[in-house]
Amino acid sequence: MNSPTHYPLLLFALSCIVLWLSARIGWSLRKRQIALDAELREDFGFILAATLTLLGLIIGFSFSMATSRYDQRKNYEEAEANAIGTEYVRADLLPPADAATVHALLRDYLDQRVLFYMAGDGQELQQINARTAQLQTELWTAIRAPALAQPTPVMALVVSGMNDVLNSQGYTQAGYWNRIPTAAWGLMAMIAIGCNLLVGYGSRSAKAGYKLFPILPIIVSIAFMLIADIDSPRRGIIRVSPQNLIGLAESLPPPSGIRMQTATGLN
């Protein structure tokens, strides 16, 4: 079962409820205690400020982790496009029949990589991954025979390019699996709950408390939602767009068969 952190809007709602209840519980505990004198209230203010500062640091640290992973996924998308485009050009070094086969397979493979970035979790993604694995096998098979038949430095260049294509997909998949650790989310949640307990406990009047209690939970919940949104490759609003792969697909020349048919039609 997926964690609530995989669903930013759900995480926002749960955080608001839990943190607001924490502030209410703190206020309930406050009503049962003797009023804080001036000295204790000053010490309490220091503790509350330190706790809120720690919460801000943890949120900032987690936000930095999420953005670094997002940038990493963008870099991997760019690397995939470069690897596929380079191998498409290097395939011209193969014999004509093998080159045409590799070009066709790379086009199909490129379409699957675009779909990978645009798909959500579920059966569609499983089908894309299965088709991608099949195409990888076919691509390697397509270059293995000519490479073994002519083990030259030129063929080694083609094999190296195909290796980059296959490796780039693995790096991308690893980047999509690389999420903020559950322990970091748990630490943020505990500190946020503690902060709201202290805010509720330190409230001097019920009227002021009812007006101010929702503020901190909403602000913290928005921060949690933003972090989860950036860290969720498929369910968030902020997602990696396969713009480099799409641009590559649009820039590739048409297959040789299409070029020949076009030329024949013009004549």
Average pLDDT, the chain: 84
pLDDT in tens, 124-160: 888 999 999 999 999 999 998 888 888 888 888 889 9
Q: Determine the pLDDT at residue 206.
A: 56
Question: Looking at residues 12-27, what average pLDDT do you find?
Answer: 89
Q: Where are the domains of the chain?
A: 4-251
Biggest distance spanned by C-alpha atoms of the chain: 98
pLDDT band for position 32 (50/70/90)? low
Lowest mean pLDDT among 2-16, 24-38, 103-117: 24-38
Q: Quick one: average pLDDT of 169-186?
A: 89
**Residue whose entry in the numeric block shows the structure tokens 């019920």:** 206
